[in-house]
Each structure stands twice: as structure tokens, then as C-alpha cells.
Structure 1
Amino acid sequence: MLSVIQRHIQEASNTSLLEPHWGYVNRVLPCTNDVGSCEYLDSVYWMHDVSMLYTFILWAAIGFTLIVIFALRVSEPWPSWKKTQDGHGDQIIRRPASLHYRSWRAVRATFRKWILPEAFVAFFGNVTRLQLLVLAILLGYLLIFSFVGIVYKTWITPVKNSTLHNTRTRLGGFADRVGALAYALTPLTIALSSRESILTLITGIPYQSFNFLHRWLGRIILIQSFLHTLGWTLIEGRFYQPQPTTFKNFINETYIVWGCVAIFFITFLYIFSLRWAIALTGYEVFRKAHYVVAGLYLGACWAHWSHLACWMIASLGIFGLDRGIRLFRTAMIHSGHGGGTKGFGFHCVQLSLRYFHDEDGGVIRLKLQDTRKSWAVGQHYFLTFPALTIWQSHPFTVASVPGQHHFIIRCRKGETSRLKRLATQTSTTSEGVPTLNQTPVVLCGPYGTALLTSKSQPTNILAIAGGTGVSLTLPLVLAATAAPDFAEVAVDFVWIIRRQSNLQWIASELDGLKRRASSGAINFRVHVYVTQVMDDTFTAQNLEKCLLGVSSKPASEASNGERRIDELDFNITYTNSEHPSLCNIVSEFKDSRSSSAFRTRVIGSGPASMGHDLRAAVAKWNDGPKVLRDEKLWDMSLDWDDRMG
């Protein structure tokens, strides 16, 4: 079997010197081959050194970008205020006094105006221009530096002891270049998929938002791997002579065998991450197989080219840290730390299940009491139901404020359909009174970024949810309307549902929100949109009972054909099978509800199409120059979470 050095037409003697090249085999000097072969070796080693330089520049740019983002986050100015009276001397108006603060907000508003909307949805799906911009920058870098620094020359060199000739071209250097860049991208790809994400800690962006880049970088690495393999297959199977002896010796080398194994693993990862494959095998099979095969792929890459093992070591370190933290969390839960039964073992907590039937498959509300305060509004947990299986866990946003855990789950296929059967099983007390079903559950988390903390700046809040997306917005509104710092801002809760019977999901919370809205102590309104006709089985009496005290007035025909039920700042609108305009909702809130002294946050969750419209509506209201001039039109941010309604 030929050695790597022999394959690179280098012959060493007692007088030879070995010149080290980082990430490659040592260069044998002086070169004793023919002139063409020596020139080829010069170009090969020069191209390799340039390739290493480009990988370092890539990571230097990534590191610099992350440092800048982190520095901007920690240095964000806190608003200072000046108070002026209106023309009549009656009302005190608060205005931001700091030019630094206004300039900061103006830059962010301009940035958000152009990168927040979605683009090329038919091809890329529901992703923002920012995500596409980051992908385009990476693709541009890879495209340029895959070809820059390549020696575009061909050498025809003789084969010793024969009349044959080898054809040596720039293809070897190009194949090595794309292979080196694929290795350098691997740690970034692993980091983008990590649930315990260091990128989230640095940027403040939820780890779910990195999934798009993770998928596309995986595809880029797949293409680079095939180009690398194709290049060396052509070189060893066609351009080098004699054949087929040269190719047989090449394909039997150990590091080439490991390269073929790595190609098989990355192809498996790609195929079984496609939607049809996930639908065929199930999400949990995909997730577990993805972990195992990804680890095997990293090991195969290490064995293929150990000179660049640093990238695989970094990838395995990120992968192991993510899994290790998760296992540590699970071990702490099972040993009784953080609340729960003391002592080591597999401990579960009991939760109650309540099922709400509808034509879309039904909804389950899970409820358990928990006094732990180690999570914040907007975060989610991964839930495992041992009564169903211990091998699956699914993420669910907590639909309540800290101190208790409520989850609202739409019943679909897979695990949630089995949970539905568990929730619909009837049970009674010894006196024959129906009771709520209970089941054990294991919680792992919390994960995600907090939407509201005790240190959050007061802002106008427009919370818009579609269907079960209310899990994200409901606790936010409950927390904001109870916080003294938010007394001067406007808070609106908008919920878009299909049927009025869906109001039962959060009946008690709606009653509390109705009381807060009607108290007049805070600037708070609730608006529920029902997009389908009134349920025949859900009468007006049921509606009144569901709202726990809302005195429903008879439905009247509005000028736009909608039917409304209003009371003070709590109203329900029936839209006759049409979805309300999110652009109009956002515009109305900005024009007539929000305080110009505070910036505005829109928090939304629901179907992807709803997110598409909401991003466009929020981007419309961002105008940097007007923010800088301290006009009423302030910058508006958006926190969005995709969810089926």
C-alpha cells in the first residue's frame, strides 16, 4: 500500500529535509523529481497553505462578528428622560433626552426595516432577510475563496519506467481547498444545532432561529464533500497512470476508506433530514439517528485526515458540551434537586390533563403546580411522558407565569395523539364524580430566551397569538399587566381563534385579564377575533359562562360586516371566515394606543403565514430618521415563534 508521501510523488533520502506544513504531510526537500513534478509540488503546498489561511480568516471574521454583537448588547444605552408639558400646561409628556440613545434606536430601526421581512419564501421557507443575508455572506465567501489562490496550470509529467504520462492540474488544489473549508465549517454547523447554545448567550437570539443556517450549512458541507471526493476520484482514476493499478492502490488506502465512510454518513444525514423522510420515520427516530450518525461522521472525518483533526475535536467538544449539559440537567432532576422528591432515581411529577374537543383534533391543557422560580416568561421545557414512552421528549412553551406550569397542546399525530387518548379516558371518584385525568411527566429545561424579566425596560407591548400560540403571549401579558413599571405603557392582547369554544382553553385567565382591562388602573385592552361562524353547540349562555362575568351584549352587525361583542376594553369580533389584517392591528396600536415616549415591542406566535404578515407589518413602522428626530413614530421590534394554530 502506498504511503501518503509516496502518493505525492516525493522521494526521501538520507540527505533530505522535511519541511512542515500545518494540516498537511511534510514536504521533502530538495525535490529530486522531474521539473514538471517539482513545479506541481510547489503549487500544491502553496495552495494548501493559502487554504489554511482562508479557514483562519473565516473563523476570525466569525469571532469578530460575535464579539461586536456581544459588545453592542452589553453597551446598549438605558433611556434617560426629560419631561415637558403640553400647550395647555396640563399633561406631562416624557421624551428621550439622550441623543446617544435616539441614535442607537434609529440605527436599529433602519436595520430592522430592511432585514425583518421575509423573502424567497417559496424556496427558503419562512425566514427573514437577515437569515438570508448571513447565508449569502457565507456563500459569497466560500465561492470566492474556493477559487482564489488556485494555480491554474497543467503539467504533463512522465511515469518512471514507462512511456505513460501523468496529467497534473489545479484540480488537486481545488479539491483540497473545498475539503478544508468543509472541515472548518463543521464546528459552526454543530454550534448552530446546539440547544445549550453559546451563540444564544452571545447574541441573545433563541437557538431555534439558528436551525435554518444549520440545515443550509449542512447542505453546503455535503456539496463540498462531494466536490472533494469527485476531484480526487478523477485525479487518481483518470489523470494518473497506469490504470487501473493507480486507482486500486488509492481506494485501498486506510484514510481513503474512512473518507468513503464519511461521505456515506453525511449523505445519510442529509437524506433523513428531508421532510418526507422525517414524516416516514418519525421525528424522534430522526433526532436520535441524527445524533448518533453525526458523531460517527465526525469520527470518520478525523480518521480520514488526522492532520486537520482540530476542527473535528472542536466539533466533538461543542457536541459533547451540549449533550453533557442536558444529561446534567436530567441527572439533577432525577436526583431531586431544583424541587421534587429527594434521593437519586427516576422521579416524575404528576400533572392533570383536560381535553377540549374541536374539529381540528382537539386541544389538551396540562397543569401542575411548581414553586420553582428558575425560569422566565417566554421560555419552554422539553416534556417526556413515561406513561407513553421514555424515548421521546417534545418542547412546549409554558402558558403561565412562574410559580406554576400550564401547557396548551394542539393534538396532532404521533405523541400528541397518544396523549389525547390518555386525556380522554374517563375517571371518577368513589362517589362517582368525574375527575381530571393525571399522568406523570419529566420536565427538562428551561430553554430559550426570556421575554420579560424584572430588569426589562418598560415598553409598549402588542401581543398577538393565533390558536395555541397563546402559550407564548398569555404569560407575557399576565406578567406585564402586573408589573408596576408597565403602568405608563400600552399593553394589548390580541388572540385569533377559529371557534368561540376555543375561549375555554384559558377561561380563568380571560376572566383575570377582563378585570384588569376594566379596572382602568392600567392602559390595557383585550381583543379576541373568531374567524369561523359561531358554533351551534356553543350557545350564548356557554360563552357568558366561559368568560366568567363578561356581560355579553347582543351581537350587532358592524359596518364592515363583522359581528362584535364589546364591554369596555374587552371585546370579541366575529370575522365571517376571514382573518383580520395584522397590518391594520399593528397600525391601530401604533397610532392610537402606544405611548410615544417608549419603544414598542410586538410579540407573536402562531402559524408561519401569520409570522410572514406580522414581519412585514412591523418592518413598515421602523423609520430611523424619524426616530432620530424624536417624532411619534418610534422603532418597533418583533419577537416571533412559529407554531401551528
Structure 2
Amino acid sequence: MSVSPSPSQQYPNPTTPAFADDVDWFMAYLKIHALSQPSMRYAYAFWLAIGLVTLTITVLHSFDLRSGTFGAHWSKWSLRRRTWRKKHSLDRARKAGQPHKQPVPLPSNAQLLCFFSLATACLAATFVGPDYIAPANRFWVFRRSAAPDVTAYKPQYTIQKAWWSSGGRAGLMSFALFPLCLLFALKRPPFAIFAISFLTNIHFDKLIWLHRWTGRLIWAMAALHVALWSVQLANDTRNGTGKVAYVYAWQYPRFIYAWTAFGLLTLLTLLSLGPIRHKHYEIFYALHVILVPATIVMSALHYPPLWWWCWLSLLLWGGERTWRATNWIYINGFLSSSVYAPQIASVNQLATRTQGWEMYSISPGIEPDTNPDHGRYAQVLPQPSFHSDSGSQKPPPYHSVHFASSTHSLLPPVPSTFSIPVGYAHAEVLAGRTVRLRLIPPGQVTWAPGQHFLLCIPSVSKFVSHPFTCASVCDEQKPGDDGRAIMFLIRAKNGWTKDLWTTIVGLVADGRRHPAQEAPVGTTLTLPTTGVLLRAWIDGPFGSPTRTNWGLYSTAVIISGGSGVSFGVSILEYLCLCMTGRDGHYLGGNVKRNQVSAVRRIRFIWILRDFAHMQWCASILQRCKSLGPPESLQLDLFVTNFNPSLSHTLGPGDVGSMVTPTVPNTSSFVASSPRYEDTGVYLDQDDFIEAENPDGDYVDLSYYTGEYNESGELGHEEHQLDLTNFDGDNDDQMPGETTLNRALKKEGTIRRALTRKVKGSHIIKRSLQEGHVFGSTKPLNSPAPLGETSHVLPSSFRYLDDAASLSYDNFVRPQLSPRSSRVSILSDAPPTPQAPSPIKIWDTSGYGDRSKEGLQDWKRRSTSSAISQASSMQALIREVSGELKLELGDKEMRDISIMAEFARPGRPKLDLILQDEVGRAGGRIVVACCGPTTLNAVVRKVVAAQIDPSRIKRGDKSGSIELVAEDFAY
């Protein structure tokens, strides 16, 4: 038997006594080389630091301390993120026919700092200080283990560094990181501790990146543990045999558990790499659920002294899964007692509630417009009281050229005789290979604007769910089920979304309204006339937007790109309802009950690929526009897929400047100007040229002069799709989309021209009423000089005072016959003399008579033009050929036509837009953003540039800008 060295010698490698049995010898070897209990203090110090950081973030968030000068300095740096794209990669991808790919995103500076700090703390706990602390040192020792038989051979002195001691500390930190990695991944409080509302309230969507990299950090520490211990086992030999310790290690079960755990951990790490995870997400997720608990269990079996780190992780993981499963069963109505039965409010409550959330109501004694195509009232009453920043109440000015909606619901309409059955989702196919899916869960569920759900469609995949942002608002006070309706906008890509699209299209092609085995139960059930019914289950809600108190900000800027509009419209709807006096507490917001919202202005920016994509949420935007005065909401829709006609050839000095497009063939708009009926308002070519690109300072057309930009805003070449397309988005168009794009572009130009003219006429009238000619100081009754025309005020200018709003629909309203209630856009082919265009919006060419008879004839012929047909398109009917064709409903097409006024070709200058809003704001600003990687990076750069700590220091809160971004990916 070997003799143990004296403590004075303090050898780093203790000697193992001789045992006849190989396993006994190796067990004694491991016990002697195990870390002492005082050496565990490094893991405790690591978690103490995590607790202090969590407490600090909680205090900063709870007391809103980030809105100060220090918080502004932090935000200016922490918000920014960088992207990387190899030079000319877009050109090579285009030549190879590959789909568009976003640049490679780097995390934000804040995330990089968090992980750098986490990794530094972990490495410090691994290497700083002595590895092995003498057992006699009782500092931070909470228990004493039973003395083994080889206690006398275990080092009783401190060891600074050795292969085995450093390897032991690396393994210790691997165990200590297990719970943290799990906490970053959990979604449902209270097990997801960081997501608890009274703590940091940071959810999985903001921690997913840290979860991935913490997992990789665990693997790195485990690999370091394996490498250091392998060196130690290779260096140590057994007395009497001369064989290295590695030979005997394979006979010990815990050593087998160690290699099994490391193998499973390595497999987990490889499967979590982006290319594998994105391409085979379902396989990755299934294996993740299996391999994670297996890895933790094998780790616990490998080293029982540290088992409690593993069992704590399993407890958190298993508890959260059980809690989510219970909530899932409740929400989806698998327990009969969980079916939600909304309370019916009294008549007085309904009346009060209606006055609270509907900005404009019907005046007593005035009948609504009975034409179903109009859907608007003949007269509008003044708005309810409006709370200003000073606390006084005053009605805001109202000079809108748009009509108020006559409906409470902000969701796209469904047939009045159809109600979505419990447990089912109503799915419709829209332009841009997009599915609009609407469901009402059986169980009661509330969500905050901007949160997402996990959606499972059994007919597509029974065991896999995918996250989608909810595009609607939870309204707890709304009568009936509409306030609980959840809407998703799902754009078809590869994988699950493609399978969903294929399933719906296949059902429609077969003339079915639901899968064969999913027939809704109910004798009185009315099936939808459009779309299909699919069984649907949801889990959620999830997401960090719940931590935002939207009522604290005076101005909200909402920026969406492509299908990211789901995030934007939910926040827009919430803020618009709050501005009407609704209590945000009952709309899912993170506000106190009866808290008055400070929001006075909203600017909604949507960057979309094609005009036809407005179908996704035009009805919601139109109704949001009608909820408040026009000064409170500005809609800006930018369409990037177009080829502008430039008025001149660009030179080097034109880069980044505004280029005014010409209107090719203005006779396609007007041959001789139409006019508003009896108002004397005429339209000419100049009106259309100006209307073609309004607010030109905010639109960048130079971006489209070349196919690619060699050095874009983010420092690398850019592409049109960077702001609108997520990776994998399919831009294949349905028949009719190209025609609809052209028609809506023309429709928007016409509407802008008419709106500008009406507003100008209003200014002229005011000037005339004051006794002066508009634009001069000459009295009204003074004779006009030779060659000039006197301004004459027609009697019908009373329309500008008597009507609450003016638009083209006041004067040209197509009358639909029952025979034209449903028309599809069948083809994108150009019209021929034998086959007139299937859609033709506001084409007034050829009607040059300005007389009253000529105008009436023009109106009569416009009634049969495409706007009357385009407004009668429904979603998805099956033709004889079985080919899928684009259709839209009457009301939906009208809403799209109205929204066309706010859509213009080009790319937004987000820096100028935000700078303009900062100049207008009277308080703090919040920017909400959801879109592709490039858009997110650009918005972060723009917001960081506009944050001004010096302005905050002077007491001007407009220098404080908070960014609420949805930028995570599973």
C-alpha cells in the first residue's frame, strides 16, 4: 500500500491505495480526486451574481428607471445590432435561382454583453482562485458528507492547479449551468422565473438566443472537463500493474454514464445549429424533448454529489410542462367545465361600453346608409371627451376625408350566418400565399398585444405546434365571443406552413369545407361560404410584449415588414381603442385599472411586397383609422415591388436623393378632368403627378434604380426583399394578383389626388370666408386682373361643413346588383378589344364632358367599371378547371380600396420619419417593430440615433425612445 504524502508537501496528485479489485481501486481513485465541499463555493458565487443581476433588472423595470439620462445612454448603445452578408452573394444567389436569404444577423449589443458577462463569470468560476480548497475551510459549506474509507488519502490542503482539479471545476460549472439554461427556455410562469410579471417579466422570446448559447457553453465546459480529466487518467498509473487509470475507468458504471451524458449533450448541440434546426425543425424539436431529460439524468448518475443541480433542472422542466399541459387542456376545451360562457351585460352597461370604445356613433333620428356596399352612416356625431396631457377634456379637431366604421369589431368580417364552432379554426387563403386563420378558443384566455401562441393543426401535424403572433386584441368587455377571437396571418414557406397551405388548397379544390374526419358536430351549424374549417389547438400566450406599459408614451411609431404586420396591427388596434377611452386593463395591456392612456399620436408604417398584400389586414386598418381623429393616426404603407419611371437619368449626385416619378400616359387616369359633383373641384394631370408620390421627403426611390446596392444602409449590399421577406417566404402569385396590384396602385393615386383637391378646396373656402382669395391678399369682391380667373365659391361647398368626411365615395358609389355579388379575378392577361379587362378601377379616360350631363354619364359608366366588380370578390371559389383564383369580398375590397390611398411605391426613409415624430412628440416615444432581419437592424440603428440623453436632461421626454421589437426565431 502506498503511503500518502504529508500535508507539508502538498502534492497536487494524491496517491490511491492498493485494492485487489479493479473497480474498488478506481472508486477509491475517484473519491480521492473529488472536489471538496468548500470548493463548491464557486458555483454558489456564480448564482449569487445571477440573482443580483436579476434583482437589478427588476428594480429598473418596476420603477421605470431606464427612462432617465443613464437609461438613454445605455439604450443608444445596447439597441444596435449588426448584420453580415458576403459581397455579391445576392448576385450569385440570383444567378443560381436560389430563394432570397436575409443577411446573417448578429445579436443586439445588449445580448452580446449578457452572454459575454455570463461566459466571463463562468470562466472566472472555473479558473480564478485555487481549484481544490482544503476540507477544513468551512466557509459556505452547508453540509458534511459521510467520511469515506479513503478519507486519510484525500488531500487536506488547498491545491492551486492540477489536471483533475481544474477538470473538476469545469464539470462543476457545467452542472451549475443546467438550471440557468432551462430557465432561459421555459415559457410559462411561475416556473419560467424570469417571465414572472413582478420580476424582470422577460419571456422566452428575448432569452432564446441566450438559451442556445448557454447550452453551447455547457457543452464547452463539459468538453473541457472531459479533456482535462482524460489527461489526468492518461498520466496516472496503478501501482503493481503499471496500467494507466483509463484502462480501469471503463469498468466503472459512472464513467459510462459520463460518456453517455457527453455524447447526448454533443448531439443536442449539433442539432441546435441553425442550418439543421431551420431545415428540420420538427425532427430537432422531437429529439430535443427526448435528449434534454436523458442528458440531465445521465449527468446526475455520473456524479451523485452534484445531483441536485440536475434534479432541480428536471423539476423546473417537468413542472412547466405539466403546468402548460393543464393550461392547454383548459384552453382547448377538453374539460367540459372549461368552456367559456361570456357574461351578458345589461343594456345600460352595453350603452356605456359602446360610448367608451366607439369614437363615432349614430345620431338619434338619422338612419344609417342602407346600401350594404357602403356600410357607413350619413352623419357623424362629435367624439366623446378626449383627455389631454394637462388633464382637461376637449374634443379633438376632426377633418378626416374618411368614414367611420359602423361596426365594433376590428376583425375581418365573416358571413353573418356563420359562427366558428368550438375547437375549430376558419382558414382563408389570401394574396401572397398567406392564410388568415381565425378561431375562438373554448376556454377563457387573455393575451397582451403583440404576444404569440403555439398553434397545432391536427390535419397538418398532430404532434408539432408552431408559433404565430396574434393579429387581434383580447377585449374582455366585449359582448359575445368576438372579443376573444384570435387571428393569425400565416405566410406559406417550406415545412409546416407549406403543408398548411397545401391542405387548405386541396380541400377547396375538392369542394370541401373541412377534412373528412373533422366534420363539426351540430345540427344547426352553418358551414362557411368561403375558406375551410380545421381542428385547431393553441398553447399560450407567450412573449415579452406583456411587459410594456403602452399607456406611458405620448407617441407610438409602429413599423412592420411583410407578415410582421401581425405584430403591428395588434398593437395598433390596442392603442386606437385606448385613445377612444377604453380601459387598457381589459384589453390585455400591462396597465393599472382605469389608467388613462397618454398616447396622443400613432404612426403606422407597413412595408409590404405588393399592393395586393393589403388584403391581409386592410379591414383592421380601415376601422382603426375610423376610431379617432385623423391627426391621431397616420398610416404609411410602402410597396417595394415596382419599377418606377424616372423623370431623368440618375447621376452620381443623385444617390440617396428623392427622384420624382413621372406618370406615364396620364390619359389612363383622366382624359379630361372629372370633378366633384357641383363643387367646382377638377382634377388635371398635375394633380395626378403630385398624387403619384405624396410626402416625397419620406420615400426613397433611388434604392430602385439598380438591382442591388453595393454598400447599403447596414454596410453591405441590399435587396428589395430585405425589408419585406422573411427567410423562406414564397413570392409565387395567385392568378389575379398582378391585376389587383396594378388596379390598387391606380386606385391609390386617384384617391390621393381627390383627397388633396378636397383639402385644398377647404382651405380656399376658409380664405374666401375671411374675405380673401386663396394665396393672395386681395379682397373677395375685387375684380380679377386680365388673364386671371376669379375664384367663385359654389353653393355646394356646404358639403365641407355638413359632412363629417369627404372622399371619392361621396360622389361615385357603385351600385351592386345581386348578380354581381361574387366575382373572381380570373386572369392577369392584358385586356383585348374582344375581352374587356376583368378589373378596371376608376378609369375615367374618354369622359371629357364637364357638363352636368357628362358627369352623370361618367358616373353611370364608372358604376359598371371594375371597382364595382372588384368590390364583390370573395375568397376562394373553385372554377371548373380546379385552378385556385383570387377573390375578395365586397366589404374587404372596399376596405382595400380605401387603404390604397395610403400606399405608395418606394422604400421609407425611416430616419426622417422617426425624426419627424420626435419633433412632434410632447413626451416619451415608443417604437414597435416586427419584420425581417434587415428591417429590425435598420430600425434599431434609427432609434438609437434619435435617442438624446441631453434632451432628457433638459426635461424634454421626447429624447427617450423605447424599442419593443419582436425579433426572435424558434
- State if a TM-score over 0.5 links the two structures: yes
1:212 CA displacement: 1.2
The aligned runs of 1:79-478 (5 Å cut-off) are 105-119=68-82, 125-150=105-130, 170-196=162-188, 197-201=192-196, 202-241=199-238, 242-244=241-243, 246-279=245-278, 282-332=280-330, 333=332, 334-339=334-339, 349-358=423-432, 362-369=433-440, 372=444, 374-402=446-474, 403=483, 404-424=485-505, 425-426=507-508, 427=511, 435-451=530-546, 456-478=551-573
After TM superposition, the structure 1 = structure 2 runs for residues 477-556 of structure 1, keeping only pairs within 5 Å, are 477-483=572-578, 484=581, 485-486=596-597, 489-516=600-627, 519-520=629-630, 523-533=632-642, 536-538=738-740, 541=743, 551-553=751-753
CA 1:119–1:74: 2 relative to 1, 3 Å = same
Structure 2 stretches of 5 or more lacking a match?
16-31, 86-102, 133-159, 343-420, 475-482, 514-525, 582-595, 644-736, 757-895
User: For the pair shown, which has the larger CA radius of gyration, 1 or 2?
Assistant: 2
Quote the Cα distance in structure 2 between the aligned partners of 1:629 and 1:454.
24
Matched, 1:580 2:908: yes
Contact 2:924 2:961 in 1 (8 A): yes
Alignment partners' CA distance in 1, 2:599 and 2:496: 44
**How much does 1:625 deviate?**
3.0
Is residue 571 from structure 1 mapped to residue 909 from structure 2 by the alignment? no
* Aligned equivalent of 1:57, options 20, 39, 45: 45
Q: CA deviation at 1:539?
A: 5.6
Q: Which moved more, 1:186-195 or 1:196-205?
A: 196-205
C-alpha separation in 2, matches of 1:338 and 1:432: 25
Aligned partners of 1:319, 1:296: CA distance in 2, in Å? 12
Provide the C-alpha distance between the structure 2 equivalents of 1:409 and 1:191, rounded to a whole number of angstroms: 29
Give me the identity figure in percent. Answer: 23
Q: CA deviation at 1:275?
A: 2.5
Q: In 2, are the aligned partners of 1:601 and 1:636 still within 8 Å (CA)?
A: yes
Alpha-carbon distance between aligned partners in 1 of 2:531 and 2:470, rounded to the nearest angstrom: 20
Distance 1:319 1:176 in 2: 26
| TM-score, with length taken from structure 2 | 0.52
| Secondary structure of the structure 1 residue equivalent to 2:739 | coil
The separation in 2 between residues aligned to 1:224 and 1:107, in whole angstroms, is 35
| Pair 1:135–1:539, CA change in 2 (3 A) | closer
**Residues 455 and 567 (structure 1), Cα distance of their counterparts in 2 relative to 1, 3 Å cut:** closer
CA displacement, residues 470-505 of structure 1 (integer Å, 9 cap, x when unaligned): 111102111211213447621111100010000111
Alpha-carbon distance change, 173 to 410 in structure 1, aligned in 2, over 3 angstroms: same
Structure 1 residue aligned with 2:961: 636
Distance 2:560 2:968 in 1: 10
Q: Deviations over 1:152-180 (max 9, x none)?
A: 9xxxxxxxxxxxxxxx9711111111111
Q: Is the 8 A contact 2:551 2:599 kept in 1?
A: no
Higher strand share: 1
Whole-angstrom distance in 1 between the partners of 2:104 and 2:166:
29
Distance 1:530 1:401 in 2: 26
Q: Deviation at 1:38?
A: 6.0
Matched residue SS, 2:544: coil
Deviation at 1:457, TM superposition (A): 2.6
CA change 1:264–1:624 in 2 (3 A) is: same
SS of residue in 2 equivalent to 1:287: helix
8 Å Cα contact 1:469/1:643 also seen in 2: no
Q: What is the number of equivalent residue pairs in this alignment? A: 550
- Name the CA shift for 1:632/1:248 in 2 (closer, same or farther; >3 Å): closer
3-state SS in 2 of match to 1:537: helix
Q: CA deviation at 1:400?
A: 1.1
| Structure 1 spans left out of the alignment, 5+ residues | 1-5, 12-30, 78-102, 153-167, 557-564
Partner Cα distance (2:932, 2:270) in 1 = 26
What TM-score does the superposition give when structure 1 sets the normalisation length?
0.77
Of structures 1 and 2, the one scoring higher in RCO (CA 8 A, sep 6+) is 2
Q: Which of 924, 934, 937 is matched with 1:599 structurally?
A: 924
Distance in 2, matches of 1:626 and 1:434, equals: 57
Paired residue secondary structure (1:444): strand
Structure 1, 228-237 or 390-399: larger mean CA deviation: 228-237
Partner of residue 589, structure 1:
917
- The code of the aligned residue for 2:908 comes to P
The whole-number CA distance in structure 1 between the counterparts of 2:105 and 2:115 is 14
Going from structure 1 to structure 2, the CA distance change for 1:585 and 1:374 (only over 3 Å counts) comes to: same
Q: Distance in 2 between matches of 1:388 and 1:132?
A: 37
Residue 394 of structure 1: CA displacement?
A: 0.8
Could you tell me how far 1:506 is from its partner in structure 2? Answer: 1.1
- Equivalent of residue 608 in structure 1, options 921, 933, 940: 933
Aligned 8 A contact 1:256 1:304 in 2: yes
Q: Distance in 2 between matches of 1:64 and 1:124?
A: 33
Deviation string for 1:408-460 (max 9, x for gaps)?
Answer: 0010111111111222232379x999522111111111122345889843431
Q: CA deviation at 1:514?
A: 3.5
In the TM superposition, what is the alpha-carbon distance from 1:208 to its structure 2 partner? 1.2
Once superposed, what is the RMSD of the aligned Cα atoms? 3.7
Q: Structure 1 residue 68 and structure 2 residue 60: aligned? A: no
Contact 2:431 2:615 in 1 (8 A): no
Is the CA contact (8 Å cut-off) linking 2:452 and 2:467 kept in structure 1?
yes
How far apart are the structure 1 equivalents of 2:934 and 2:435?
24
Structure 1 contact 428–435 (Cα < 8 Å) conserved: no
Alignment partners' CA distance in 2, 1:432 and 1:296: 47
Identify which range, 531-540 or 302-311, moves more after superposition: 531-540
C-alpha change, 1:455 and 1:278, in structure 2 (3 Å) is closer
Amino acid at match of 2:606: W
Counterpart residue identity of residue 553, structure 1 = A
User: Given the superposition, is the C-alpha separation of residues 454 and 461 from structure 1 closer, same or farther in structure 2, using an over 3 Å criterion?
Assistant: closer
